[in-house]
Amino acid sequence: MGGSRAWCVYLLGGAAVLAVFVLLPYGMPRDLLYALIGLSCVTVTLFSAARLRNVAALPWALMGIGQLCAVVGDSLWVYYEHIAEVNPFPSAADGLYLLQYPIVVAALLMLARHHRSPGDREGRLDAAILIVGLSLPYWVLLISPKIGHYDSLLVQVTALGYPLGDVLLLAALVRLLTGSGARTPAFRMIATALVCILAGDVIFVLLEDPQGFSLSLGVLPFLAAYLIWGAAALHPSAADLLRTAPEPAPFLTARRLFTLTTVVLLAPGTLIAQLTFGFEPSAWPVAVASVLLFVLVVARMAIMLRRLEEQARRLDEVARTDTLTGLPNRRTLDAQLTREYGRAARDGTPLALAMVDLDRFKLFNDTHGHQAGDELLAGAATAWSLVITNADMLARYGGEEFVLLMPGRGLEDAEHLLAALRVVTPQGQTFSAGLALWDGRETPLELLRRADTALYAAKEAGRDRAVRAAPPAARAPRFRVPHSVVAPAAGATAPPAASGQ
* Distance (Å, whole) CA 104 – CA 190: 11
* Distance (Å, whole) CA 349 – CA 419: 22
Please give the DSSP secondary-structure letter assigned to residue 328. B
E strand spans, 252-292: none
Q: Is the pTM of this model over 0.75?
A: no
* Distance (Å, whole) CA 299 – CA 282: 26
* Distance (Å, whole) CA 325 – CA 108: 46
Pairing of strands 431-437, 351-358: antiparallel
Residue 174 contacts by C-beta under 8 Å, 6 or more apart in sequence? 127, 130, 131, 134
* Distance (Å, whole) CA 165 – CA 201: 10
Task: Please name every residue paired with 405 in a beta bridge, in sequence order, or none if there are none.
Answer: 353, 393
Q: What is the CATH number of domain 330-474?
A: 3.30.70.270
pLDDT string in tens for the chain (501-residue length): 445 689 999 999 999 999 999 888 888 888 899 999 999 999 999 999 998 877 788 999 999 999 999 999 989 988 998 898 888 888 999 999 999 999 999 999 888 887 766 667 888 899 999 999 999 998 998 888 888 878 888 999 998 998 899 999 999 999 888 876 668 899 999 999 999 999 888 887 676 654 544 456 678 899 999 999 999 999 998 888 776 655 555 567 888 889 999 999 999 999 999 999 988 899 999 999 999 999 999 999 998 899 889 889 988 888 899 999 999 999 999 999 999 999 999 999 999 999 999 999 999 998 999 999 999 999 999 999 999 999 999 999 989 999 999 999 999 999 999 999 999 999 999 999 999 999 988 999 999 999 999 999 999 999 999 999 998 864 444 333 333 333 333 333 333 333 333
Residue 90: cis peptide before it, omega within 30 degrees of 0: yes
Backbone angles phi, psi at 465, to 5 degrees: -160, 165
* Distance (Å, whole) CA 122 – CA 120: 5
* Distance (Å, whole) CA 443 – CA 327: 24
